[in-house]
Amino acid sequence: MGLLDSLLGNPQQQQDVQGYIQRYQQGAPQEGYSDQEVLQRYQQVAPQLNPQEYQAAAEQSFNRMSPQQRQQFGQYVEQQLQSQGTQGFGQNGGPQAYQDAGYLAQQATQLHQQQPGLLGQLLGGGSGGNSGGGGMLANPAAKAALAGIAAMAISNAMGGNKSGNPLGSILGT
């Protein structure tokens, strides 16, 4: 329960997490939160996930995105990695393969395992927490992907309760 312990440490954090999950589930996946909130949640949650948890959250996140958004996200990550001299993201599929949420989740999970934190750095504009406005989170597809991975991982850790109160099963409300 390390993930939940760190996120639900006090009543204010509980409210914040509940609000984040509700905003993700009720609105467009790229809307309802600032770039900094998305990056903070992702960086708080992703390092605590095992590969299966990460892949499940990523696939759920990508399923909320349109095929075009998934393709845009996958191509951008691939281009960023290639510009840094890193290969391996999506090398077996090509641009059309990124439209498949399962394939994209598998690729993101492999990247997360091989280089933890890299996806957040690539998309958020660095590891310092200040994207300076130039990070990929200005792109709706990247924002939707990271927001979703964090929201779905938290929701899954709480038992996947998708009712009106996503924390109900944990908080006893």
pLDDT in tens, 120-173: 887 775 543 333 344 556 678 888 999 999 999 999 988 764 443 333 333 333
Spatial separation of the C-alpha atoms in residues 81 and 119, rounded to whole Å: 10
Spatial separation of the C-alpha atoms in residues 63 and 150, rounded to whole Å: 14
pLDDT at 3: 62
pLDDT at 171: 34
How many distinct structural domains can be found in the chain? 1
Q: State which residues form the domain around 163.
A: 2-171
Name the pTM for this structure: 0.81
